[in-house]
Structure formats: C-alpha cells, structure tokens
Amino acid sequence: MTDNYIQLNKDDRLKLEIVTEDGKSTGEYLVFDLEDIELPLRLQEMLEEHKKNRQWIRNQEIIINKREDVKGKKLMSKNEEDMIKSLNEFFNKEIEIYNKFLGENGVQKLLNGRPMGWTRLLEIDEIIEKYIMPKLEISRDNIKDKIKSIYGNVKVANEDVLKEDEE
C-alpha cells in the first residue's frame, strides 16, 4: 500500500431527496453543508429579503388600488394587468431570494416544473421549517460544541450569529 493519496474525512452534509406527491423520486436533491458557518447567515439574509419583498408587493398593491382603473389592452383592466406584472416580479424575486439559501435552482427543484404561486411559496416555507431548520439547529449546536472542545470553555464571540432568526 502506498501513501500517495489523501483520505478526506466524511463531510457533514444534509442531502434531501425531492420526491413527488406519490413518492417517486424526481432525481433532484437539496444539499446543505452543515459545517458551513455562513449557512445560518444565508438563512437570515433570505428571511430579511423575503420580508422586504413582501412589503414591496403590499406597497405595489396599495399604489395600484389607489389609481383610477381604466380599460386595459386586452381582457383585463390596466390595474389588473399592472398587479399581475407586479406579482410576476415578486415571485421572480422570491425565487432569487430563496435560491440564495436553498442553492442553485433549489426553488425550481422543489417546484418540479410547476409555476410559482402563493401556495407553492407556502409549501417551500413549510419544507424549510420542517426538514431543514431542525438540522440547522443541531448543526449550530455541534459547531458550538466543536469550538468549545477545541478552544476550551471560552464564550463564542457573537453566539447570536449561530442562532436562527426568531421572526
């Protein structure tokens, strides 16, 4: 046996297979490196940007509803057309926001070819809360334990960074 190789340690990744409603694999996975210390920060950033985007769509709705409505170019009124355009922009931004946390095409993997909408957004929130958040909490505790085991019983600087956003 030669010593001409390096054996890597087992990585601490959470790999979630995506299956359809009837239990068939889509062949897609969401993968999270639980040792990535920036993962909780990306989650926090996602939640903050999601909140801002929801406020933006509420403001758009208020602005559109305050305007006098006129006949649109086709079947809908101008305000209805503008609201649909705003919703489309909102959902595209949501996909971008969530993918920062879920990974490249994470939302598209979860949608499995379905268009984005309010109920699908709620499904994604439920998936994050039910399947990912508990693992992040365990990972956060493991990271703190590893730091303490390596550096003794010192207080971890800015421990709040390792905590999830409570909102």
pLDDT band at 14 (very low <50, low <70, confident <90, very high): confident
pLDDT band at 74 (very low <50, low <70, confident <90, very high): confident
CA–CA dist 128, 138 (Å, integer): 14
CA–CA dist 112, 97 (Å, integer): 18
The total of other beta-carbon atoms located within 10 Å of residue 105's CB is 13
- Give mean pLDDT, residues 101-130: 94
Q: Averaging pLDDT over each range in 31-35, 96-100, 128-132, 161-165, which range is the top one? A: 96-100
Instruction: Using the predicted structure, report yes or no on whether residue 164 has a pLDDT greater than 50.
Output: no
